[in-house]
Structure 1
Amino acid sequence: MGVGEASATAADGDVIPRSTWVAMGAMALAVLAIANDFTAMNVVLPTIEGDLDSSLSAVQWVVNGYALVFGVLIVPGGRLADVYGRSRMLCIGAALFAAFSFLGGLAPNVGLLIAARVLMAVGGALMWPAILGLIYGLLPESKAGLAGGLVIGVAGIGNATGPLIAGALALASWRWIFFLNIPIALIALVVTWRTVPRDEATEREPIDYAGSALLSLSLGALLGALTVAPTQGWADPLVVGGLVAAVVLMVGFVLRERSTGEDGLVPPSVIRNGPFLAACLAALCMSATFFASLLYLPQLFQKIQGEGTMTAGVKLLPFVAVFALASFTETWLLGKIGLKAVVSLGAVCVVAGPVLFVLLLDDQAAYLRLVPGMVVLGVGVGLFFSAATTAGLTAVDPSRSSLAGGLLYMFQIGGGAVGLGLTTVLFLASADAGVRDAASDVGVELSDEEVRDLQGVLVGTESSAAVQAAHPEDARALTEVVRDAFVDGVRVAFTFDAVLALVGVGLVLTRVGGPLSRLGRDVDRGDAADPAHDRSGTDPPAGRHRTRRHRHAHRHVP
């Protein structure tokens, strides 16, 4: 029986044929690899920092470059899949993902590694929306809910297991994290090409290439300036030029979107929807805490506690495992306490997590003192992003839900990338000042370059060894100085993230899922305020709530 006949049988008898299960399994593997790459690299960044003789400000781009490009291109990726065919875009994306994973595994320096990660993200942004659309197309209507559940469930598993897989692979070499992607992407490419019918274009809407490019370049210029500023100074021509370019490009993006109207990357009819915009901005504010936790907690485990990559991955489990569990229980909670309560609870926990880190973190970064913050933050991230996406999507017309889901994800991932960039600037400023002052107290005067180089002593970079060699009698004291300054810098970083998340809480309590007075009134409905409610401030008519399939189809996991 051919693939087309198998699909017809599934539609007629609600029986999913073996070929469909095989295709969905291959695509689920691809989702696992994409989601895994969001969390896996954080555990091995200290190792990469030492191996490639780099710095934290540079290696953060291994995470940020991937996230930023993926987040910005997810909407154009979905439109490309609609215009040119989902199976075609999945195969192109898988080929890019595999090819640049191979190059990333061979990268001899941090610059080429970052470039490979950025281009991997292009492939991932083509694959992700194509996979969701293909799985929906393969399933019969009665089982369509499996599509969203499969993608989100596998993505959650990928996020949760990423640090463990990376830690295990890094026992051999961190490069195997990249090489593992190659067979997975190729399996998705071959199986999809052989088992999934070629889909026709479903729409011919214009694709806003210029808008996507302007937004990507603007955020890239901003993050580039933030990366260079701690080492070169804010008055450096490269930093000033980057900031000016970011502003000019962002103005160009806004003007471009106004001129293109509904054909733009961000259509006015969607972004001018108040409750939807509030959900986007709240996600932007909350994402910095999520990204910073994935970066700085493994740094503490390895640089301060002296753990290896595998142990660091295991120690991150209270965060990522609780996050995955909370994501899966969000639907159940909607029926128990309502959407407004779930999204508010999640937002408050996202603030409480970094607050607990700041209050409980001691100079030795004792692990048990970090666990309460990880558990609370895991609950917050798992509940907030799922519920905020539901609230945002149910605030727009159902015909625009796919586009709205992509925009929400763009704000979430793009906001996390920019937020992490700002967090790292503050961390480095605090850590550098702490090293300089403490070194002076022990009688060692360090130049700005020596201060920056000495930060690498916790991972054993060649440049830090040279600084210690220049001060042999104070080498041990300088190591302790760096350790203390690092912990203080982490406290400053999480304080900033907590303040930013607090702004998000204000948006959530007042605008996301309706006003605060709505708390508890949407129990057993599981939807945010209906568009009619959100615009008028009155409750929607009975029966006008979204189905479970709608809620899960577009929920995204970072």
Structure 2
Amino acid sequence: MAETPASKPGSRSTRGVLVPLALAQFICSFAGSNMNVMINDISEDLDTTVQGVQIAITIFLLVMAALMIPGGKLTERYGRKQCFLAGLAVYGIGALLSAAAPGLGVLILGNSILEGIGVALLIPPVYILTTLLFTETTSRARAFGAVMALGGIGAAAGPLIGGLITSAVSWRAAFVFQALVIALIIMLSRRIKDPLPPDPTRPFDTGGAVLSAVGLILLVMGILAADDNLWLMVALIVLGALVLLWFFLSVRAKERAGKEPLLSSGLFRNRTSNLGLVTQNVQWTVLMGTSFVVAAYLQVVRGYDAIQTGVVFTAATLGLLVSSLGAARLAKRRAQRTLIMAGFVLAIAGVVVLLAMVSGSPNAWAFAPGLLLIGLGLGVMLTPSVNVVQSSFPEAQQGEISGLSRSVSNLGSSLGTAVAGTILVAGLTTRAYAAAMITLAVLALIGLAAAVFLPRDGESSTLP
């Protein structure tokens, strides 16, 4: 494909396209972590518990993960820009409803359901448009670097910004802030041009969408049930796995019948993409898991308020900002596999430092060195992981792989909050905090192992 005007670095069209796309990723990542510092405020205002707020946060992340694959597929039928704008509108309505929520149920409807649906519609177009509009390797790396930088910063700075707003006004104002950012993105999106026309005749696999969503929901619900009923946890996880198996069998059956399934089975025959998806999942598991565990520990165990908790997270934000902004330069000097491996090593080191320093010091700033290392590590590897996956497929499959990629990443966010949060909430002690962080370190080691097996430049990436 010839290089489009948008792919020329530094041009006005480049900035015009990247600003709304990167801001969209920022606000979605912000929404996934800013509630972590509002746990006490929301619990008291809505007369609920820490577990109730955790459930609201997890459902939001879960809805995103469950609907991201169908959301990516819908872009082919209705157009990338139209799905982007529709998602922004749904998200904005959800944010305003959350701001006015009289109880936990309405908060879940606005934040967890509507905002989750909005993200599932708007995020796949962000990555599809970035891939299609930035065709040259360096400019695409720079574009993904900008998108992922703001995404990572949104997740890491969510506690700080949310803490500032909550302390200065109230937790409800944080949702008004989200609605205002959404309105700004809609205004800026007028400059975006969809490079491919929509195909209204494109079939949509409704049955596959239902099966994939139900399977993912059951899986995470099982993890959330761990602190209440062990047998229920096992039953839900097994049932979720069976539903997902049913989904994959239905995909193969539709392909044999000459029909178009929700996802092509060919997406799973690319070794580079498969390993890249594993690293994406683990990255967001570590990021969101650390955010929830540290924020909950500081507020519930040590009694910090929203602003004190948010300030502690400036270290992670700084680390993500520094390493993400240098992503394009790093991509020129080092292979993507090397960057992903280095990122996991830094993140694991950060968890170890968090465990070592926090257990021996009552000072809140003991969290800073570990969070800084985690932020640096995640910032180094977020962009290359996305680029590895998106660049493994041609234009015709960008809708499918973008939805799958974002679903896997958001499933990681759900699992991070569910797994680490369940361990912490079960005890809400220093020992439970340590157990949750050790669990995240083990998961990071799995991500490092997947990165080690990423093919080197020139190696075949297709499975037999």
Normalising by structure 1, we get a TM-score of: 0.71
**Conservation of the 8 A alpha-carbon contact between 1:222 and 1:246:** yes
- Bigger shift: 84-93 or 183-192? 183-192
> Which blocks of at least 5 consecutive residues in structure 1 are unaligned?
1-8, 432-484, 515-528, 538-558
Q: CA deviation at 1:27?
A: 5.5
Determine the structure 1 residue equivalent to 2:60: 66
Q: From 500, 506, 519, give the equivalent of 2:449.
A: 506
Determine the structure 2 residue equivalent to 1:479: none
Aligned residues: 453
**Conservation of the 8 A alpha-carbon contact between 2:73 and 2:403:** no
1:161 aligns with 2:157: yes
> Which blocks of at least 5 consecutive residues in structure 2 are unaligned?
none
| Structure 2: distance between partners of 1:259 and 1:392 | 25
After TM superposition, list the pairs within 5 Å mapping 1:341-380 onto structure 2: 341-362=338-359, 365-380=362-377
After TM superposition, list the pairs within 5 Å mapping 1:100-499 onto structure 2: 100-116=94-110, 117-131=112-126, 145=140, 148=144, 150-171=146-167, 172-189=169-186, 192=189, 200-201=197-198, 205-231=202-228, 233-235=229-231, 242-243=236-237, 245-261=239-255, 263-362=260-359, 365-396=362-393, 400=397, 403-429=400-426, 431=427, 486-499=429-442
Higher relative contact order (CA 8 A, sep 6+): 2
Query: Structure 1 residues 47, 502: CA separation in 2 closer, same or farther (over 3 Å shift)?
Result: same
1:533 aligns with 2:449: no
**Conservation of the 8 A alpha-carbon contact between 1:45 and 1:59:** yes
**Conservation of the 8 A alpha-carbon contact between 1:23 and 1:192:** yes
| Structure 2: distance between partners of 1:426 and 1:143 | 42
| Structure 2: distance between partners of 1:405 and 1:234 | 35
Q: Secondary structure at the match of 1:206?
A: coil
Q: What letter is aligned with 1:496?
A: T
- Bigger shift: 267-276 or 180-189? 180-189
Q: CA deviation at 1:102?
A: 1.4
Q: What letter is aligned with 1:278?
A: L
Q: CA deviation at 1:197?
A: 6.6
Q: CA deviation at 1:383?
A: 1.7
1:37 aligns with 2:31: yes
Query: Structure 1 residues 533, 21: CA separation in 2 closer, same or farther (over 3 Å shift)?
Result: closer
**Conservation of the 8 A alpha-carbon contact between 1:304 and 1:365:** no
Determine the structure 2 residue equivalent to 1:554: none
Query: Structure 1 residues 362, 78: CA separation in 2 closer, same or farther (over 3 Å shift)?
Result: same
Q: What letter is aligned with 1:255?
A: L
**Conservation of the 8 A alpha-carbon contact between 1:82 and 1:204:** no
In percent, how many aligned pairs have the same letter? 22
Query: Structure 1 residues 487, 343: CA separation in 2 closer, same or farther (over 3 Å shift)?
Result: same
Determine the structure 1 residue equivalent to 2:84: 90
Could you report, residue by residue, the CA deviation over 1:133-192 in whole angstroms, capped at 9, with x for unpaired residues? 567888999997575455344434433432222112102111111122223323444564
**Conservation of the 8 A alpha-carbon contact between 1:132 and 1:147:** no
**Conservation of the 8 A alpha-carbon contact between 2:75 and 2:399:** no
**Conservation of the 8 A alpha-carbon contact between 1:318 and 1:378:** yes
| Structure 2: distance between partners of 1:533 and 1:489 | 44
Q: Secondary structure at the match of 1:306?
A: coil
Q: Secondary structure at the match of 1:361?
A: helix
Normalising by structure 2, we get a TM-score of: 0.84
Could you report, residue by residue, the CA deviation over 1:71-114 in whole angstroms, capped at 9, with x for unpaired residues? 34333323322311233223321221111111111222223322
Query: Structure 1 residues 26, 60: CA separation in 2 closer, same or farther (over 3 Å shift)?
Result: same
| Structure 2: distance between partners of 1:256 and 1:498 | 36
Q: What letter is aligned with 1:316?
A: F
| Structure 2: distance between partners of 1:26 and 1:286 | 24
Q: From 93, 103, 107, give the equivalent of 1:99.
A: 93
